[in-house]
């Protein structure tokens, strides 16, 4: 399989392991109440109120930038346990946001599962966050994915995805061992898994260099 072959390109030895271990409505215009000089006095009071209301409205959360710490909470897994990025500090974490109606998501998830199974969980952790599916659809997907090795969590309200600025699916993030964003991808294509593996390897190399530098400084 192409996916398994791509997963085989991971350089697990870089961490010193051998073998298989490696996001009220937004105010856009605040309304143009004043369209002519003769209307300015009549509407000035209402215009001021509108501006105050707009300033009080929460905006869509901006997505985390490369090198920033993203929101740690990723929902609850199938056993009902809270999943938090802090639990996996020291590993590379791949987080993907998906929904059952998203065709590309259905293509991406098996590839991510193959990657997780190949890599094991000593260095890599894949977490797939389902966003706002109905209970029926969610349960159907969980039955279909019962043998998956990746961690499956649920974002019932969409607040977790909002914290990542998610607007389209699939929406994938690579988090480095320090818990910071290393890469971000939206969508899925034939070369997506290959690109993911290449970027994971880049993170591995960067982490090993960081550790070597820290050891040299300490020495």
Output 20 or 136, whichever has higher pLDDT: 136
Sheet of 171-175, strands arranged across: 82-84, 73-77, 151-155, 124-131, 92-98, 171-175, 181-186
Q: Inform me whether the pLDDT recorded for 31 exceeds 60.
A: no
Do 205 and 118 have their domain in common? yes
pLDDT confidence band for 218 (50 / 70 / 90)? confident
Do 82 and 182 have their domain in common? yes
Do 108 and 33 have their domain in common? no
How many CA atoms are closer than 13 Å to the CA of 90, on its beta-carbon side?
A: 4
Do 105 and 165 have their domain in common? yes
Nearest to 203 by CA among 69, 68, 11: 11
Assess if residue 7 is contained within a domain: no
For residue 219, the model assigns a pLDDT of 72
For residue 203, the model assigns a pLDDT of 97
Do 190 and 204 have their domain in common? yes
Q: Dump pLDDT digits (tens) for 104-134.
A: 999 999 999 999 999 999 999 999 999 999 9
Q: Dump pLDDT digits (tens) for 34-61.
A: 234 434 444 444 334 333 333 333 445 6
Choosing from 16, 33, 59, the residue where a domain stops is 59
| Residue 205 belongs to domain with CATH number | 3.40.30.10
What is the C-alpha to C-alpha distance for residues 159 and 60, in angstroms, rounded to an integer?
A: 10
At residue 52, what are phi and psi to the nearest 5 degrees? -65, -40
For residue 9, the model assigns a pLDDT of 58
Kindly give, in sequence order, each residue whose CB lies less than 8 Å from that of residue 56, ignoring residues fewer than 6 positions away: 24
Do 190 and 98 have their domain in common? yes
Average of per-residue pLDDT across 192-219:
93
Q: Which of 29-38, 46-55, 198-207 has the highest mean pLDDT?
A: 198-207
Do 48 and 66 have their domain in common? no
Specify the DSSP class assigned to residue 154: E
Assess if residue 14 is contained within a domain: no
Q: Dump pLDDT digits (tens) for 128-187.
A: 999 999 999 999 999 999 999 999 999 999 999 999 999 999 999 999 999 999 999 999
Q: Inform me whether the pLDDT recorded for 66 exceeds 80.
A: yes
Do 47 and 109 have their domain in common? no
Do 85 and 34 have their domain in common? no
Q: Inform me whether the pLDDT recorded for 91 exceeds 50.
A: yes
Question: Which domain covers residue 145, as residue numbers?
Answer: 62-218
Q: Average the pLDDT over each of 52-61, 67-76, 168-177, 199-208 and give the range with the smallest value.
A: 52-61
pLDDT confidence band for 10 (50 / 70 / 90)? low
Structural domains of the chain, count: 2
Q: Inform me whether the pLDDT recorded for 27 exceeds 70.
A: no
Do 105 and 155 have their domain in common? yes
Assess if residue 16 is contained within a domain: no
Choosing from 37, 59, 81, the residue where a domain stops is 59
């Amino acid at each position: 399989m192409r996916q398994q072959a791509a997963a085989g390109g991971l350089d697990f030895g870089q961490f010193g392991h051998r073998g298989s271990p490696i996001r009220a409505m937004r105010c856009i215009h605040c309304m143009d109440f004043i369209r002519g000089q003769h209307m300015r006095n009549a509407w000035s009071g209402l215009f001021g109120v509108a501006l105050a209301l707009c300033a009080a409205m929460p905006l869509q959360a901006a997505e985390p930038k490369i090198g920033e710490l993203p929101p740690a909470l990723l929902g609850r897994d199938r056993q009902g346990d809270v999943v938090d990025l802090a639990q996996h500090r020291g590993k590379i974490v791949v987080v993907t946001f998906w929904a059952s109606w998203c065709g590309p998501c259905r293509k991406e998830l098996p590839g991510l599962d193959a990657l997780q199974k190949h890599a094991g969980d000593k260095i890599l952790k894949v977490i797939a966050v389902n966003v706002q599916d109905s209970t029926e659809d969610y349960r159907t997907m969980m039955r279909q994915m019962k043998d998956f090795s990746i961690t499956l969590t649920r974002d019932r309200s969409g607040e977790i995805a909002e914290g990542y600025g998610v607007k389209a699916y699939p929406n994938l993030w690579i988090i480095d061992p320090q818990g910071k964003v290393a890469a971000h991808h939206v969508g899925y294509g034939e070369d997506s898994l290959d690109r993911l593996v290449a970027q994971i390897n880049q993170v591995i190399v960067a982490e090993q260099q960081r550790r070597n530098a820290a050891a040299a400084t300490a020495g």
